[in-house]
Amino acid sequence: MNKLMERTGTVRKWVIVIVICALSFVGGLLASKAEEVVDIGDLSPQSDMQWAMEKGFLDSGLQEKDPITQAAFIKMLVLAYAPKEIGLIVPTGAENHWAAPYYATAKKEGIIGCSCIIKPDSPLSVKEAADLVTQAVTHARKGDIGVGVNEIAGWIRKQNQEENQINVKESAGLIRKMEETIHGTS
């Protein structure tokens, strides 16, 4: 009887050891799978500002609510447009400006039309920004725009588009939407 009790105790110990090992193994598997789960925070959409900064369209010193200058907007527009060639002729008014190469490329690509007044350091209105984006989309799609200037201006959702200035955050959103429209990317 004593031997039977010893055997039963030994079997119980082995069963407990096997159960503990099995639970440890299963726990390890579950823990390794848990690392593969994507954090919900990672699924939130990237802000337009983050997107524009990562792409090199905006300088880090700009604040969301700051009005954007025509030069900064032209830079973003040209970089998102992704022209095949760099322009050489700088439009009058931007000759000695840091954004001269962007203006030259925008002119070469037909993004800056004859009616565009070159004023690099002036804030841009919603309408002016929408006009530039419309030109870019039209030229990129070889005339098949699919959207009009009023619809593009509506992407910003501001009243009185001729007087209201577009800010940095709105500009980033507008350029992001333009890039998606032209290239089908984000």
When mean pLDDT is compared over 37-41, 143-147, 173-177, the highest value belongs to 173-177
Least confident piece of the model among 1-15, 121-135, 162-176: 1-15
- Alpha-carbon distance 39 to 36, whole Å? 9
For the whole model, what pTM was predicted? 0.68
Residue 35: the pLDDT is 43
SS3 content of the chain, % helix, strand, coil (to 5): 55, 5, 40
End-to-end CA distance of the chain: 77
Residue 68: the pLDDT is 93
- Report the phi/psi class of residue 160: left, alpha or beta, with left for phi > 0 and alpha for psi in -120 to 50: left
Residue 38: the pLDDT is 38
Is it the case that residue 37 has pLDDT exceeding 50? no
Residue 45: the pLDDT is 65
Residue 21: the pLDDT is 65
